[in-house]
Amino acid sequence: MRLMKHLAAALLLAASHAAAQFPAKAVTIVVPFPPGATTDTIARVIAQQAATTLGRPVVIDNKPGAEGMLAAQDVAKAAPDGYRIMLGTSGNLSVVPASRKNPPYDVATDFTPIADVGRYQFFLYANPELPAKTFREFIDYAKANPGKLSYGTGNNTGVINMAGFRTAHGLDMVHVPYKGEPPAIVDLLAGRVQVMVATGIGIPYAREGRLKMLVALLPARSPLAPDVPTLAETGQKDLEVILFAGLVGPAGVPAGVVERLNREFNAAMNNADVIAQIEKLGFTLTPARVDTFGAMLKDQLAVYRKAVRDAGLPIE
């Protein structure tokens, strides 16, 4: 028993020492999307600023695919030292575990919450050739032309929202999944798919007239697209889910390391230049305490489970 106590004390001391010395090398942020995606850009902007106060490089490792599971499983298996973390999203931290009978990971036990990063602005985009100028006209056209329209998705948020539209309005549409928003937007622009729920990545194309924006999946109109109505304004029910992004590490990251990462990333997100860059992406930064972020992760998993059921998505 005495030996065990000494061993526990030694391990605690070693962990405290490691936390005090953190970081001794570069920190890697795993991003579950390809380069050029909105989440990837957000990660790079924040990482560049955080590196200045951490005193070490913060590098990005893109691991797209499998609905964000590849990135999540990678980080869940990483050493719990704070050097390999993930910019997770509501897609792989809420939708994936909510839509599977046997999830590939347990958000509550396989990850350490580190920092709330922010909230996405999502919109329903359409190819200009689609004969619908409003969300209501889109619904009417899709109902009148079963099986003739295709929609692309570049993330789980797009999947769950389009499934919700299909279920709520009895739409028969062809789903074309992509590994991220950039390749999906390319096909939307080319007319190979007709509609898509996506982040602000499509706003520049809409401003050029190359895409149409039918509705904003937001509680209030976006300052980036003030002419686009919200779901509530079209008579639809507001979303209960939070479209979030946040930093998590593997389970067991020492508290001192978590506190340091939270402090430095929050400082980066409060930087005026960072805020200006991120706002242009249609994303709102929401730095918060670790416990607040952890509670939100837990609450949203329950909300997403209900949303998956209400949308009629199959539980895989």
| pLDDT tens digits for range 158-192 | 888 898 889 889 999 999 999 889 999 999 999 99
Q: Which of 48-62, 212-226, 255-269 has the lowest mean pLDDT?
A: 212-226
Contact 29, 43 (CB under 8 A): yes
For residues 22 and 111, state if they share a domain: yes
Q: Kindly give the residue spans of alpha helices, DSSP state H, lying in 149-271.
A: 156-169, 181-190, 203-207, 255-269
Structure confidence at residue 9 (pLDDT):
47
For residues 111 and 130, state if they share a domain: no
Percent of the chain with pLDDT over 70: 93
For residues 220 and 284, state if they share a domain: no
Rounding to the nearest 10 degrees, give the CA dihedral for residues 63, 65, 71, 76: -150
For residues 6 and 87, state if they share a domain: yes
pLDDT digits (tens, 9 = 90+) for 6-49: 444 444 555 555 567 899 999 999 999 999 988 999 999 999 99
Q: Please tell me the distance from the alpha carbon of residue 106 to that of residue 154, in angstroms, as a whole number.
A: 23
**Prediction pTM value:** 0.78
Pick the last residue of a domain from 185, 207, 234.
Answer: 234
Query: The domain spanning residue 155 has which CATH number?
Result: 3.40.190.10
Query: The domain spanning residue 113 has which CATH number?
Result: 3.40.190.150
Phi, psi angle pair for 8, to nearest 5°: -60, -40
Question: Residue 101's domain spans which residues?
Answer: 2-118+243-311
Asked, for residue 178, whether it belongs to a domain, the answer is yes
Pick the last residue of a domain from 234, 258, 276.
Answer: 234
Q: Please tell me the distance from the alpha carbon of residue 85 to that of residue 62, in angstroms, as a whole number.
A: 12
User: What is the average pLDDT value for the chain, to the nearest integer?
Assistant: 91
Pick the last residue of a domain from 234, 262, 290.
Answer: 234
Structure confidence at residue 189 (pLDDT):
98
Asked, for residue 316, whether it belongs to a domain, the answer is no
In total, how many domains does the chain have? 2
Determine the average pLDDT of the residues in 152-158.
Answer: 87
